[in-house]
Amino acid sequence: MSDQLIPDPSAPLTPSGNLRRRQLVSRAAELTATAAAIAAIAVLAIVIWTVASRGVKTIDLDFVFTGYPTGVGPMLLGTIVISVVATLIAMPIGVLIALFLTEYAGAKGVRTMKLILDLLNGLPSIVLGVFVFALLVNHKHQSAFAGSVALAIIELPLIARGSQEVLLLVPKGLREASDALGVARWRSVLTVILPTALGGIVTATVLAVARAAGETAPLILASSVFDPKKFSVNPFEALPNVPVWIYKLSEEGNPEGFNEAWGMSLLLVSFILFASLGARALLARSKRKLSS
Amino acid sequence: MTQAVPSRLRIRPGDPAATTAAAPTTAYPQHPELVFDARGVSIFYGPKQALAGVNLGIQRGQITALIGPSGCGKTTFLRSLNRMNDSVPGFHIEGSVLYHGHELYGGNVDQVEVRRRIGMVFQKPNPFPKSIYDNVAWAPRNLGLRRGLDERVEQALRGAALWDEVKDRLKDSALGLSGGQQQRLCIARAIAIEPDVLLLDEPASALDPIATGAIEELMHSLKGRFTIVIVTHNMQQAARVADRTAFFSLEMGGEKPVGTLIEVGETERIFAEPRDPRTRDYVTGRFG
């Protein structure tokens, strides 16, 4: 009787046998998974709340636009310079890699290149920091440029994969159309395919910048000995920058410094949040445009 | 007539296969009226054979229609005439396609040069996301035909019977045009570089009857200036526009059905007195 597989067909359709127990297990699994998802949201919310509540009272115009000790203007300017130089290095290479993946590589080339980009994306930033330190700083001097090179390596796989995703959305019909007109492929790439995908490429780049702007480890090695009073845009000297300054202030044990660190953290987090959300909205828009 | 040499090998310059492929030029003197002369053309996609043993001549200045049921290989054949299939993975062609007596798949033939002379318009209108003017001017610009560009664009748009509708909004986006206008723009874009041949792959299948009528009228006006090959699944359209009609069908080649050319001739004859019973069944609507 107990190993009867099919119950009496005339019995009511309520759970029978071990179905009740299996339903309980299933319910527990669902609850645990949901709880984990909620925990992730909670972590983000708590971080943003903590940073915002402690940082907001420090931020005013002086804080943003003057130098040490009243403000952190030089650090903000330095971070902008370092990020811009990094992007100038990473964007052309990243877009070329994406073009290689979508226009030229065979299936095997695509697989290999994707794997390499994923590995590059997984490199610890401190390793990149030591790498640029050995290559560009050791026996020379610290420079924002060395930091930019490290950040460029962080941005590269993000730009390449993001651009590839958008280039794949460029309709096949456009490529066929330009092929059928007897125009060489690279000219189609320059004048049809890239302009069509431009919105998405810009978005991928913004996301990569948002990711790289807060990287601290490489900058501690490449651009940490600086004058916090001096506004400078020269990438060939060590430039004051936000992540390293946050790190220094938190090391010092000075309550004033803690407040400043919270203020800068809030500026950095807001930039990253707004850049990411804005870029994603733009990406969704250009994807809609391409697929319609 | 040539051996089964993968097309990838044949495209390479200096490949010994090229000489084999080019040999028929001397073996069979070219009819002066023929633009294309396909001899024993079989096409494969990987292990799958799409077309078997097609012998078909395309005459200069005429409109030739390729008709037949879905999957019969008519589009495959059309796309092999300007080597658009080359980029399809696993594509491989046997036999010989002569274009003005030159082996189209010969070793020193450049695909880009082929398509420069043999233009193509696709089933779905595919204008570039650019202005109307830039769509037509794009290919001439990229091919170095910059002199008299405005006149060239106007001529092409007039040739495609679109000029009067768009002359006041040449800077507007081409994507704002109707489907029929977009397709005529694609034809204007193709004729702007004055090709020798126009290949049309079901150019009206995505259009309403009025836009279809406009495209058919346009084909009549382009006849003589260009040699036109059109694929259509619409028999009335073939009857209306084509001088010659070729009927393709699926025949059992071994175990699997393979696209085959059944019959070719003057359009009127194909529709009025088809010689092959399979053609008769198709044109009278008994199948397909």
Domain boundaries, chain B: 7-283
- Give the domain CATH number at A128: 1.10.3720.10
Predicted pLDDT at B32: 54
Structural domains in chain A (count): 1
| Among B196, B269, B201, residue whose Cα is nearest residue B229 | B201
**Which structural domain, as residue segments, surrounds residue A113?**
56-291
User: Is there a domain that residue A2 lies in?
Assistant: no
Mean pLDDT of all residues in A49-54: 95
User: Is there a domain that residue A45 lies in?
Assistant: no
pLDDT tens track, chain B, 288 positions: 444 444 443 433 444 444 444 444 444 445 558 999 999 999 999 999 999 999 999 999 999 999 999 889 999 999 999 999 988 889 999 999 999 999 999 889 998 999 999 999 999 999 999 999 999 999 999 999 889 999 999 999 999 989 999 999 999 999 999 999 999 999 999 999 999 999 999 999 888 888 899 899 999 999 888 999 999 988 889 999 999 999 999 988 777 889 999 999 999 999 999 999 999 999 888 765
**Superfamily for the B7-283 domain:** P-loop containing nucleotide triphosphate hydrolases (3.40.50.300)
- Name which of A102, A179, A191, A198 to mutate to probe chain B: the one with the most chain B Cβ atoms within 10 A of its Cβ: A179
Query: CA B136 to CA B141: how far, in whole Å?
Result: 9
Q: Where are the alpha helices (DSSP H) in chain A?
A: 19-55, 61-65, 73-99, 107-122, 125-132, 144-169, 172-180, 185-188, 194-213, 217-222, 242-252, 255-291
What's at B18, amino acid-wise? A
Predicted pLDDT at B253: 72
Chain B, 21 to 80: residues with Cβ < 8 Å from chain A are: none
- Identify the sign of the CA torsion A239, A240, A241, A243: positive
Contacts of A195 in chain B (CB under 8 A): 129-130
The complex's ipTM works out to: 0.78
Contacts of B139 in chain A (CB under 8 A): 178, 181-183
Q: What is the model's pTM?
A: 0.78
User: Is there a domain that residue A206 lies in?
Assistant: yes
Predicted pLDDT at B21: 43
- Inter-chain touch A182–B126, beta carbons under 8 Å: no
Mean pLDDT of all residues in A256-276: 92
Cα nearest neighbour of A292 on chain B: B175
- Inter-chain touch B129–A173, beta carbons under 8 Å: no
